Chains A and B, each alone.
Chain A
């Protein structure tokens, strides 16, 4: 589904002393099938943007379009449920939304609400729990007996079981150990590719933005600060530093190596081993010249 924001303002608690404008004249487009990273300093409005994607919030001014659904301050689509079925959101700390007696029931909750047939739900529970890397033995356990990391995975499975076309992830790996983070991000990326999802990832990890996304949007104080391909955005170190962000460490390393040894290696998602080979080949080449 194509997504677009047209001059969106969003004001929290309007006409009160607590009034706060969280989004200002924000416009951008996301094409169907893209993997987009939204980054920005804390409080820059990332979560606010995300809540517009399934109609939890509607713009105070301006317009949002998600597929065929158009939302403005005075127009909300009749079939909100269908919008929410197609746009799955994994919120920050999704484990806080668990409530059922068993893991299986909790994962079934979403699909059941959207009217999926019972046999099909069983099927989906199985595929989604396998996708998040949890053994099916846990299906009959209470979600509250699980570890924090397992709870997170169960909550994510609950969103995947709805089989959305657009997957929205609000810092899905915050507070996980490095291995868990890697596994979960790789899982999301695999799903993105396999199912042709449109994926929107909010993250503080520039590494993840670099590794997975086609496009990066940088927010600052509710406005769009930078937008472009990964290469474009991350070539702007000075501008990123200005808003308390930085380029991914790997890019700093490559840049430093190039500077120090007069090489011109281009980073295009190579693994560390491949980079090492490139560096050594480059260095040998230099020696021969001398």
Chain B
């Protein structure tokens, strides 16, 4: 399993953020994503950054783990920044690197876009780090409920999503097991020509597909045997509930956003 990649991974915990209703978390993140784009001054950015860091700290997950987990995203951020430096030609020329002009506007824009991007990723990964996949699907089902009126199969979609999420770790384990078994039979996944590396994937993919299909069939049968007949009239084991904690989080969030608007240019 790839231990460095944390997007989509849940870390159990008891923090304030962990205990919020998942609907609260999803809605607040949704608004955060929108409002990040309104920040336009140093102070407004600073406020959002400090706020995000405080939220990240309050999850009690080791900061080093979060930072390491975002490694793949760093590349994207640096890439965006570099593109901006090269493409944007606003403001005055600050200095030249190898005869290539760097504009002040490019520096500012590159920096603010990268920061925005970073804040978005950090905030959304905090959602998955502190919320179980099941909670997220429950919340999405509940938030999308009104769409049942226009005959959107909300329950079925949510079920599909939760089943997929449930089986991601299983599939990863299976991949790990089968690739080890085939490596023991002399398959080399890491070196050789492109053609031989593509060919090396077949002994991995075939068993994976077969076991995934088998699992799907077994799951369908087990669900039917236990009387599953779709969402109609099904009750919930875990009731979602908005509590004082959630109102507190909403008020805090609103204050920060209001502050951000005040600090805008």
Contacts and interface: CB of A to CB of B under 8 A. Distances in A.
Contacts of B11: 17
Interface of A: 13-18, 51, 54, 56, 81, 84-85, 87-89, 91, 94, 96-99, 109-110, 113-114, 144, 158-159, 162
Contact of B185 (A96, A144, A158): A158
Interface residue SS majority, chain B? helix
B1 interface: yes
B203 A162 contact: no
Given A13-B1, A91-B177, A162 B185 contact: yes
Interface residues of B, number: 26
B186 A81 contact: yes
A144 B203 CA distance: 14
B183 interface: yes
Nearest to B185: A110
Interface of B: 1, 3, 11, 61-62, 64-65, 68, 174, 177-178, 180-188, 202-203, 206-207, 210-211
B186 A99 contact: no
B178 A81 contact: no
Given A13-B3, A109-B185, A158-B185, A91 B180 contact: yes
A66 to B, nearest CB: 13
Nearest to B4: A16
Interface residue SS majority, chain A? mixed
B13 to A, nearest CB: 9
B3 A16 contact: yes
Contact of A114 (B61, B65, B177, B186): B186
A85 B210 contact: no
A56 B174 CA distance: 15
A56 to B, nearest CB: 5
A81 B211 contact: no
A97 B206 CA distance: 9
A99 B203 contact: yes
Contacts of A113: 185-187
A14 B203 CA distance: 29
Contacts of A81: 186, 188
Contacts of B3: 13-16, 18
Contacts of B65: 15-17
A85 to B, nearest CB: 7
A91 B187 CA distance: 16
B181 A96 contact: yes
Given A13-B1, A17-B65, A99 B184 contact: no
B181 A91 contact: yes
Contacts of A56: 180, 183-184
Nearest to A17: B11
B42 to A, nearest CB: 35
B186 A110 contact: yes
Nearest to B129: A17
A14 B4 CA distance: 10
Nearest to B182: A97
B184 A96 contact: no
Contacts of A110: 185-186
7 contacts: A13-B3, A81-B186, A89-B184, A91-B181, A96-B181, A113-B185, A162-B186
B207 A98 contact: yes
